[in-house]
């Protein structure tokens, strides 16, 4: 790792956060293009003892859910399960039989938040406790009525992973994710060096240690411990996955919003197990985490030029916002040293496409068919670049939209003799001049 040009700025943000939060320690990392470009640590992982550092373990809480979600999506890609499977495929005769895996992933199932009163008793739930508690649980909202966060939903997803693979969630986690990604310092139980979690006194400069609570059969919702170095690997994976572990198109699907958390502002949504935070001009994907004495954030960003992420870990359980800090660190790094697109290079246009290029009209609006970056594209004149449609050929005079406006729809050429008369795309006609619908149909 070399010193990033924004090191001083990020160091300052980290020190300011530790002071403002009155956290015993805060440790963070930024990763770009698969490599850690900055780490920082302030304070004590164990008060009066161990100093914070990038290889010290902290609890990451609900960031564990992103691992569970990836496992579910891997099994979907392998044809083992479907995201729209109702639960009774995997848990027969359940009173919640109609709830789908997709809705569990997005906290759109309406299931109650927790398994009974486990956070009041700190009793370690067994598998039997989980299944019995699930059957006794309430659906506090109608399905898709609104977002309702549910640790119970992710505990059940862990049970589904185990049943679908005839093993356990923890075995699949190790086999499918931790080992292939080299995340040896991400574990179910703490291994030294490790931080102690604390409750920071609200009205005094003191701290009290929190217990190492064990989630037992609900581990898939939040059990994991990790380090800034290891979690940076995960952020890098969420920005640019190893195709042997997760398909890029699967990640893109996980990043699609399923339900909006805050309909009034549209700043936070949930996709396929990922939180989607709008942070200034970017939407970061990842998750936050909380366990007694610990708070954490792990977020990634991906676009045409950037593959980046940031993680923040702290050993206080109150008055800290590592999720916001992760977003701030990530945006600061991207703004200070943006990746530029490669310079423009001329290329030859296939002869058979030349007659299609240029302006076309539909519904009174002008669209430009262009040959860009080695393929046929369409964009509304003056439209945002992210709406540019990219096509792939499927036959003579036929293409399929693979990205952008009306992705998935078919484009075909209609000819009069050998001349191109119009284009048909998504059920609409495109002509070389603007026409009314009656003129098109005559």
Mark whether 260 and 355 lie in a shared domain.
no
Domain shared by 299 and 158, yes or no? yes
Does residue 2 belong to any structural domain of this protein? Answer: no
DSSP 73-140: HHHHHTTS--TT-BGGGTSTT-TTTT-BHHHHHTT-S-B-SSSTTHHHH-----HHHHHHHHHH--B-
Q: Are residues 318 and 393 in the same domain?
A: no
Sign of CA dihedral 53, 54, 59, 62: positive
The pLDDT-based confidence of 93 (bands split at 50, 70, 90) is very high
The verdict on 250 and 357 lying in the same domain is no
**Residue at which a domain ends, from 336, 367, 397:** 336
| 404 and 429 part of one domain | yes
Q: Which two tokens stand for residue 253?
A: 């699907």
Same domain, 207 and 326: yes
Sorting pLDDT into bands at 50, 70 and 90, what band is 405?
confident
Q: Identify whether residues 290 and 372 lie together within a single domain.
A: no
Residues 6+ apart with CB under 8 A from 174: none
Nearest-10 Cα torsion for 26, 284, 303, 387: -170
119 shares its domain with 245? yes
Cα atoms in the 13 Å half-sphere on the side-chain side of 63: 37
Could you tell me the CATH number of the domain that includes residue 192? 3.40.710.10
Do 107 and 25 reside in the same domain of the chain? yes
Region 364-373: what's the mean pLDDT? Answer: 96
Percent of the chain with pLDDT over 90: 95
Task: Assign 206 a pLDDT band (cuts: 50, 70, 90).
Answer: very high
Band (pLDDT 50/70/90 cuts) for residue 3 is low
Range of the domain at 42: 7-336
| Judgement on whether residues 229 and 102 belong to the same structural domain of the protein | yes
Burial label, 408 (beta-carbon count in 10 A; 0-12, 13-18, 19+): exposed
The answer to whether residues 5 and 337 touch, using CB atoms and an 8 Å cutoff, is yes
Neighbour tally for 40: CB within 10 Å = 23
**What was the pLDDT predicted at 2?**
54
Tokens of 340: 């530029």
On whether both 271 and 364 belong to a single domain, the answer is no
What is the number of structural domains in the chain?
2
Q: Cα separation of 69 and 175, whole Å?
A: 15
Task: Write down which residue in 309, 336, 363 finishes a domain.
Answer: 336
Residue 370 lies in a domain: yes
Distance CA 109, CA 151 (A): 12
Co-location of 83 and 154 in the same domain: yes
Q: Which of 395, 396, 353 is nearest to 378 (CA)?
A: 353
Which of 308, 336, 364 is a domain's end point? 336
CATH, residue 396: 2.40.128
Separation CA 185–CA 182 (nearest Å): 9
Q: Above 60 in pLDDT, residue 29?
A: yes
């Amino acid at each position: 790792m070399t010193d990033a040009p924004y090191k001083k700025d990020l160091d300052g943000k980290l020190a300011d956060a530790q002071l403002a939060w009155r956290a015993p320690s805060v440790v963070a990392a930024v990763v770009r293009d698969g490599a850690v470009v900055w780490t920082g640590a302030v304070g004590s992982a164990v008060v009066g003892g161990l100093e914070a550092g990038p290889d010290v373990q902290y609890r990451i809480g609900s960031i564990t859910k992103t691992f569970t979600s990836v496992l579910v999506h891997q099994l979907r890609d392998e044809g083992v399960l479907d995201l729209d499977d109702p639960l009774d495929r995997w848990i027969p005769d359940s009173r919640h039989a109609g709830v789908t895996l997709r809705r569990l992933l997005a906290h759109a199932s309406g299931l109650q938040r927790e398994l009974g009163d486990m956070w009041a008793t700190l009793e370690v739930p067994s598998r039997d406790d989980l299944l019995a508690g699930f059957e006794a649980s309430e659906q506090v909202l109608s399905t898709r009525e609104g977002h309702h966060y549910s640790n119970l939903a992710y505990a059940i997803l862990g049970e589904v992973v185990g049943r679908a693979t005839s093993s356990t969630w923890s075995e699949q986690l190790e086999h499918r994710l931790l080992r292939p990604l080299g995340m040896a310092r991400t574990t179910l139980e703490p291994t030294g060096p490790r931080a102690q979690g604390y409750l920071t006194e609200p009205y005094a400069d003191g701290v009290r240690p929190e217990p190492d609570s064990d989630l037992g059969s609900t581990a898939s919702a939040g059990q994991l411990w990790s380090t800034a170095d290891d979690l940076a690997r995960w952020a890098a994976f969420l920005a640019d996955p190893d195709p042997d572990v997760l398909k890029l198109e699967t990640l893109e699907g996980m990043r699609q919003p399923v339900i909006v958390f805050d309909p009034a502002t549209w700043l936070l949504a949930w996709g396929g197990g990922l939180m989607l935070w709008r942070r200034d001009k970017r939407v970061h994907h990842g998750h936050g985490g909380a366990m007694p004495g610990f708070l954490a954030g792990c977020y990634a960003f991906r676009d045409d030029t950037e593959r980046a992420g940031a993680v923040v870990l702290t050993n206080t359980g109150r008055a800290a916002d590592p999720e916001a800090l992760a977003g701030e660190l990530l945006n600061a790094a991207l703004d200070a040293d943006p990746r530029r697109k490669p310079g423009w290079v001329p290329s030859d246009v296939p002869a058979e496409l030349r007659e299609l290029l240029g302006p076309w009209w539909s519904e009174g609006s002008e669209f430009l068919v262009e040959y860009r970056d080695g393929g046929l594209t369409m964009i509304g004149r003056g439209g945002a670049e992210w709406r540019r449609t990219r096509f792939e050929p499927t036959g003579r005079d036929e293409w399929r939209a693979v990205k952008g406006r009306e992705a998935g729809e078919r484009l075909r050429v209609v000819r009069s003799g050998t001349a191109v008369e119009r284009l048909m795309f998504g059920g609409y006609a495109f002509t070389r001049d603007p026409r009314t619908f009656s003129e098109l149909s005559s």
